[in-house]
Structure 1
Amino acid sequence: MTRFALVGASGYIAPRHLKAIKDTGSELAAALDPFDSVGILDSYFPQAEFFTQPEIFERYLYDAQRQGEGVNYVSICSPNYLHDAHIRMAMRAGADALCEKPIVLNPGDIAALKEVEAETGRRVWTILQLRAHAALEALKARLDGEGGGKREVDLSYITSRGTWYLRSWKGRVEQSGGLATNIGVHFYDMLAWMFGRIEHVEVHQRTDTVCAGYLELERARVRWFLSIDPTYIPTELSAKGQRTYRSITIDGQEIEFSEGFTDLHTEVYRRTLAGQGFSLDDTYEAIATVARIRCAPLVSPAAETGHRFLRS
């Protein structure tokens, strides 16, 4: 049985990892979180060891390894700015790291982690779940088969958040990387996966609650809009109580992928356990893109590059 440890057991995304560990027939040996409100563990792995201090957790990993009972993977669900440190801890304790996105905040950190991979012989994997979405896999296969010139793409993603968001680490750019990094990184990965390397980046708006701009990729021109402000949700959907809105159009055609999100983490775990997961190289383009978005000067959009939500 594959043995896991998990960092960030009280976090929002941790239950998806706990479910994936269980659904793949694996075992959770231990978990770490500075907060002790982790009763969710009882629903999945009530026998797992639990620690609130990273130094003691790390000692547990080392002792288990020396006794021949080490963990194979450490799943990392901690705040974004801690990912790099927790990945290093995992590899130096003899385990592969399976880290939530964004794997790090800056592309230079990826090169540094590859050095630790070489030193330890362990691997770093990440969760790029949209690459495992059946509808998007089929779309990519169709687009690859059609070839042709650059596509015209509009991406809109609104995921409503309460006041807690901006008062937590997620609202602090130095810790989360900002809105585009925290809620958008997997969409930039999806775009690069489908349409090739990102050649040009523009940022038209960047506030605590909205980030919008334009990307030019090898095979697409993309107008994008991200927000945590529910007032941007289309009126007819908001009236039904919907608080999330995802929309991607390619050459004016809406791409339907609202279903099929439930088990994507489990599918990524299955691929990772089979040695077919997503590596540091896979995630590089998205990390480089969000770093550019974070630092780029704001520019006014041209008529053909501005997202429709900004125009309205």
Structure 2
Amino acid sequence: MKRFALIGAAGFVAERHIRAIKETGNELVCAMDTFDVMGRMDSYFPEAEFFTSEKELVQFLQLAKEKGEPVDYISICSPNYLHFKHIELALKNACDVICEKPLVVDSTDLDKIKQLEAATGKKVYTVLQLRYHPTIVQLRDQIQKSDKDFFEVDLQYITSRGKWYFKSWKGDANKSGGIATNIGIHFFDMLNWIFGAVKENRIESYESDKASGFLKLEKAKVNWFLSLDSSDLPDVVSNAGKRTFRSIKVDGKEIEFSGGFTDLHTATYQNILDGNGFGINDARMSIELTEEIRMGNTEKREVCLKIKEWVVLRPQTKQTENG
């Protein structure tokens, strides 16, 4: 039985981690969150300690180590922009890490984590749960066995969000990484895992609540669309009262994978505990891709502003140069 701590226990995804710890036969000994209403823990680990500050958590980790009952893993479910900070905290306190997506927002932090792993002898794992989805695994096997060199792929993911989203850290691209990172990274990882590395990346539209683009991968051309806007849902979905729509078409054929998500975190944990989890190198490609989408969009806007500025200032500059 491994001893776990969890940072970010109040977040939506945290319950999947808590349940995975329980279902893999391990123990959550403490949890931390600045939000202090944590009734969900009573259903899983009512005896676990709970803290509202990192200082309290570190004191607990140190005391547990002194008692000969060290914490083995720290699960990280905090907001995206805090992941690196909390990974560093865990490694420096001699704990292995299981971190929710995205592992980090800034890809340069990946090399810093590798250095910390080397210095501490501990390991950082990330959650890439779609790699355990039975339908996705089957699709990858089919693609690898196929004699076909190239595939046409259409990806749509629409998951409606209310006004709260844009007032939270999730709506701040500097904290969440923006729409491509925050809601799209699992799907981009899935595409890379199945169809190979990115050869071309073109952004067609990018707003705070929706984005679209084109990818050329080693074995596929991909048109993708992500949205948080309920008005983008197909009528058949919205009329059924549903607020989420996932669709992947390969060569025009729909790949049905709307179900089967319930136990993917438990599968993730079990594979990590068995020594087969996904680490930094596995996460790198999708993190760099989503960062490129975000920064490419920013650079495009900056170029437009610079062009406007140049058009205005150039005549004045020439007039000065000509005396």
Q: Same fold (TM over 0.5)?
A: yes
Name the counterpart of 2:116: 116
Shift of 1:66: 2.4
SS in 2 for 1:125: strand
Matched residue SS, 1:78: coil
By how many angstroms is 1:123 displaced?
0.2
Alignment of 1:1-312 (within 5 A): 1-297=1-297
Q: For the residues of structure 2 that align with 1:253 and 1:16, how far apart are their CA atoms? A: 31
- Alpha-carbon distance in 2 for matches of 1:223, 1:63: 52
What secondary structure does 2:268 align onto? helix
What is the rounded CA distance, in whole Å, between the counterparts of 1:97 and 1:187 in structure 2? Answer: 22
Instruction: State the distance in 1 between where 2:38 and 2:204 align.
Output: 40
The one-letter amino acid paired with 2:238 is S
Aligned residues: 299
Q: State how far apart, in whole Å, the 1-side matches of 2:207 and 2:225 are.
A: 12
| CA distance in 2: counterparts of 1:85 and 1:58, whole angstroms | 13
| Deviations 1:225-281 (CA, angstroms, capped at 9, x unpaired) | 001101111011111101100000011111011111110000000000001011110
CA apart distance, 1:39: 1.0
SS of 1:296 mapped into structure 2: helix
- CA distance in 2 between partners of 1:269 and 1:168 (Å): 28
Q: In 1, are the aligned partners of 2:179 and 2:209 still within 8 Å (CA)?
A: yes
SS of the residue corresponding to residue 115 of structure 2 reads helix
**Contact kept? 1:65, 1:93, Cα under 8 Å:** no
Structure 2 residue identity aligned to 1:164: W
Shift of residue 148, structure 1, vs aligned partner: 2.1
Mapped partners of 2:80, 2:189: distance in 1: 17
Q: Unpaired segments of 5 or more residues in structure 2?
A: 301-323
- Cα separation, 2, equivalents of 1:297 and 1:129: 28
Higher helix share: 2
SS in 1 for 2:290: helix
1:136-186, Cα deviation, whole Å (9 max, x unpaired): 111101110014222110000000111110010000011000011000001
1:147 and 1:197 map into 2 onto residues whose CA distance is 19
Instruction: Tell me, in whole angstroms, the C-alpha distance in 1 between the residues paired with 2:69 and 2:214.
Output: 50
TM-score (norm 1): 0.94
Query: Does the 8 Å contact 2:206/2:297 carry over to 1?
Result: no
TM-score normalised by length of structure 2: 0.91
Unaligned segments of structure 1, at least 5 residues? 300-312
The CA RMSD measured in Å over matched residues stands at: 1.0
- Identity of paired residues, percent? 48
Secondary structure class of the residue paired with 2:158: strand
The answer as to whether partners of 1:3 and 1:26 remain within 8 angstroms in 2 is: yes
